[in-house]
Structure 1
Amino acid sequence: MKITTPNGILEAESIEAILEEYGRDCLRGADLCHANLNGADLSGADLRGADLWRADLSYAILCHANLNGADLRGADLCHANLNGADLRGADLCHAHLNGADLGYAILRHANLNGADLSGAILCHAHLNGADLSGAILCHANLNGADLGYAILRQANLNGADLSGANHVKLSIAKISILPDEGDIIGWKKASADDETPIIVKLLIPADAQRSNSTGRKCRASKARILDLQDLDGDSLPPDTTAHSQYDRSFPYRKGETVHVEDFDTNRWNECAPGIHFFITRIEAVEY
């Protein structure tokens, strides 16, 4: 195996042998893009600034490794052991980390945009300022994790364990777009019998259950239909009936109030039963 580093080319039978011969700090800034490191033992290795773009690190042992500033975009880290690893400022955009052990890992200001962290262990991980936009965190364990200033916009947290997570209320508050009290005006796209798009103007009453996940789409348990409009904003005739685009048996008629009996109170389950709507009309039009 040959590895190009800022200090020259290192060669040995395996990456473990290279670390044994040249020391745990020999891979700093190394070119390991597309490298097959499946199951490799890189525990405690200094990989600061290393290029691991699209590398296969599935099942690799990286506990307490230093990956500060490493390029791990699109890397396969499924079921890797990254317990206690230093990933400060690392680029993990669209990396595959499902089932990985990131307990106690330092991920401050790491880029995890679009990363798959489903089922990952993130207990007591340091995620301060990490960008988790669009990340998949389904059933991830974030118990005791520090989420101070973490960006969770459009992240999927369905089934995630956030018990004991620090600063989670503040991080969630930053993505909560619905007021806790009072009536809300909402907008949704429905359709006529001939599939013509119809924009429904809704009043979400103060006593309705309401939630949004980490994106812009919201749900409510009850709504009154204030108006039915065409895409340009002109009101349609009073006897117009619109239908949900997902359940044709669910009608919307001006002046009526609609209810969803099986409303799911789990805010992270974005596609759960409920009257789905947006806060702005343009989002409903473009949906």
Structure 2
Amino acid sequence: MGFRKSESEYLTRSHEPFLYDETPIIDNKEKFKKLLKLSEEDNKVSFREHKLVNMDLSGCDLRDLDFWRASFEKCNLTNTDLSRSVMDDVSFYDCQIRGMKMRDCNARGASFRYHDMEGVDLSGANIYASILEDAINQDKIVTDERTKWFRMTCPEEGPFIAWKCCTDLRVVMMLVPAEAKRCMATQESGRVSKAKVLSIKSIDERESYEWAQSTVDPDFYYEVGKWVEPANGFQENRWKDSSPGIHFFIDRQQCIDYQAK
């Protein structure tokens, strides 16, 4: 299966060079309003890679705008409507965002860290690779069945097959038992508290191995037929992505693509 097409396109785009040698800064609401008016007359006007600072934009209509790689710093965005805007790789720093509307946005890679997300509306939004770690009130975010990557993509109950790629590109096939704790943040990878190693093979599946070495902990090994549990415990907070647990992918090709990139 590999990475989804839209996410592959995002990952490719996220490595594009920055547009400006020096980041454009907007710290005056009147100036911002003038630029908004220009954007209504000329669709080429965008706020890509701009830094928006110290502005009260609460309740403003900022729909259908391009904020790719922009940052909002010390801005009041309470009940601001950003629906359908490009919000990929946007960062929020010390802002007020409660009730902010991001319906039908591409908000891939957006950082909401440390912000109160009560009432933030992500209906229909794509939040692939977004950072919700250390945010407040993630359980009060508004979503719907169209919201992408907010819900875990691994089975929430029951056993399932998981994959991981170890050193020397040895691919480990694991059985996650029904009783194992499991969690995923906003990407293809997740973590479990326990798994049984079913097989270890080369990428082309022509060679089989009895063991594989972790790419993170050189003292941690996966051995065929044995159960593995994380040496340093299991972090149950799903939003803390890079934290203790047996890391996995639910698709074999995804783990290979991730390790090979």
Structure 1 length normalisation: TM-score? 0.72
Tell me which residue corresponds to 1:83: 58
Tell me which residue corresponds to 2:159: 183
Tell me which residue corresponds to 2:250: 279
Match of 1:219 among 182, 191, 194: 191
Q: How does 1:132-147 map to 2 (within 5 A)?
A: 132-147=107-122
More helix by share: 2
Asked if the contact 1:222/1:275 (under 8 Å) is kept, the reply is: yes
2:224 maps to 1:254: yes
Unaligned runs of 5+ in 1: 1-33, 52-67
Tell me which residue corresponds to 2:30: 42
Q: In 1, Cα distance between the equivalents of 2:147 and 2:55?
A: 27
Asked if the contact 2:122/2:147 (under 8 Å) is kept, the reply is: yes
Q: Structure 1's 127 and 75: CA in aligned 2 closer, same or farther, altered over 3 A? A: same
Q: In 2, Cα distance between the equivalents of 1:275 and 1:75?
A: 39
Structure whose alpha-carbon radius of gyration is higher: 1
Tell me which residue corresponds to 1:55: none
- Deviation per CA, 1:149-174: give whole Å up to 9, x if none: 12211211111222533236863666
Tell me which residue corresponds to 2:85: 110
Q: CA deviation at 1:246?
A: 0.4
Q: Structure 1's 144 and 70: CA in aligned 2 closer, same or farther, altered over 3 A? A: farther
CA RMSD of aligned residues (A): 2.6
Q: Structure 1's 92 and 39: CA in aligned 2 closer, same or farther, altered over 3 A? A: closer
Amino acid in the other structure paired with 2:163: W
Q: Structure 1's 119 and 236: CA in aligned 2 closer, same or farther, altered over 3 A? A: farther
Unaligned runs of 5+ in 2: 1-21
Describe the SS at the equivalent of 1:224. strand
Q: CA deviation at 1:183?
A: 1.0
Q: In 2, Cα distance between the equivalents of 1:83 and 1:224?
A: 51
Q: CA deviation at 1:36?
A: 6.2
Amino acid in the other structure paired with 1:45: K
Q: How does 1:223-242 map to 2 (within 5 A)?
A: 223-237=195-209, 240-242=210-212
Q: In 2, Cα distance between the equivalents of 1:148 and 1:242?
A: 42
Tell me which residue corresponds to 2:5: none
Asked if the contact 2:68/2:90 (under 8 Å) is kept, the reply is: yes
Asked if the contact 2:53/2:72 (under 8 Å) is kept, the reply is: yes
Q: Structure 1's 143 and 201: CA in aligned 2 closer, same or farther, altered over 3 A? A: same
Tell me which residue corresponds to 1:160: 135
Structure 2 length normalisation: TM-score? 0.79
Describe the SS at the equivalent of 2:195. strand
Q: CA deviation at 1:224?
A: 0.3
Count of paired positions:
232
Tell me which residue corresponds to 1:267: 238
Asked if the contact 2:166/2:214 (under 8 Å) is kept, the reply is: yes
Q: Structure 1's 149 and 180: CA in aligned 2 closer, same or farther, altered over 3 A? A: same
Q: In 2, Cα distance between the equivalents of 1:37 and 1:236?
A: 56
Q: In 2, Cα distance between the equivalents of 1:245 and 1:115?
A: 30
- Deviation per CA, 1:84-116: give whole Å up to 9, x if none: 221111110110124432111111111101111
Tell me which residue corresponds to 1:205: 177
Q: In 2, Cα distance between the equivalents of 1:158 and 1:169?
A: 22
Describe the SS at the equivalent of 1:158. coil
Instruction: Tell me: higher relative CO, structure 1 or 2? Use CA pairs within 8 A at least 6 residues apart.
Output: 2
Percentage identity across paired residues of the two chains: 25
Q: In 2, Cα distance between the equivalents of 1:262 and 1:98?
A: 36
